[in-house]
Amino acid sequence: MTLHTVNKSPFDRNSLESCLRLARPGHSVLLFEDGIYGALKGTRFEQLVTEAVKSNSIYVLLPDLEARGMRADKVIDGIKTVDYAGFVNLAAENTRVQAWL
């Protein structure tokens, strides 16, 4: 299994869309840095991400979420929040980490 990491806003870059296109079912995706905007309810990307939650485990880095004035209750249902230790665990539990730069 792969942990995919996305660190850019889906509004600014194509990395989230590209990642979701090529991640296989069952893979995990971590949204961090400006990537956290992809995890939020109410955005133009909510449907894309809600769809992805059905086949992938999606995580968002809480410290990056809070830095940007967002809270866990703004996060799309089914997305789990993690801290840096959780990020490390995800990297360890998966077979490889693929960054979508």
Partner 1 sequence: MKFGILVNEGPYQHQSSDSAYMFTKAALENGHEIYRVFFYHDGVNNGTRLTVPPQDDRHIVNRWTELGKEHNLDLVVCIAAAQRRGLLDENEAKRQGKDANNIAEGFRISGLGQLIEAGIQSDRLVVFGD
Partner 2 sequence: MTENVTKKFLYVNRKAPYGTIYALESLEVVLIGAAFEQDVSVAFIDDGVYQLKKDQSTDGIGMKNFSPTYNALGDYEVTQIYVDKESLDERGLTADDLMNLVYEDEDDDYAEKSSISIVNRDELAKLMEQQDVVLSF
Q: Which residues of the shown chain bind partner 2 in the complex (CB under 8 A)?
A: 2, 7-9, 11-12, 14-15, 18, 21-24, 33-34, 37, 40-44, 46, 62-64, 66-71, 83, 96-101
The span from the CA of 60 to the CA of 32, in Å, is: 6
Dihedral pair phi/psi, residue 5, rounded to 5°: -115, 135
Residues 3-42 that bind a copy of itself (CB under 8 A): 11-14
How many Cα atoms are found within 13 Å in the side-chain-facing hemisphere of 11?
8
Min CB(20)–partner 1 separation in Å: 19
Q: Find which of partner 1, a copy of itself, partner 2, none residue 22 binds, CB within 5 to 8 Å per kind.
A: partner 2
Min CB(28)–partner 1 separation in Å: 13
The secondary structure of residue 43, as a DSSP letter, is: S
Query: C-alpha distances in angstroms, 28 versus 6, 12, 41?
Result: 11, 22, 19
Which helix or strand (DSSP H or E) is residue 2 part of? strand 2-6
Interface positions with partner 1 (CB under 8 A): 5, 7, 32-34, 63, 83-85, 87-89, 91-92, 96-97, 99, 101
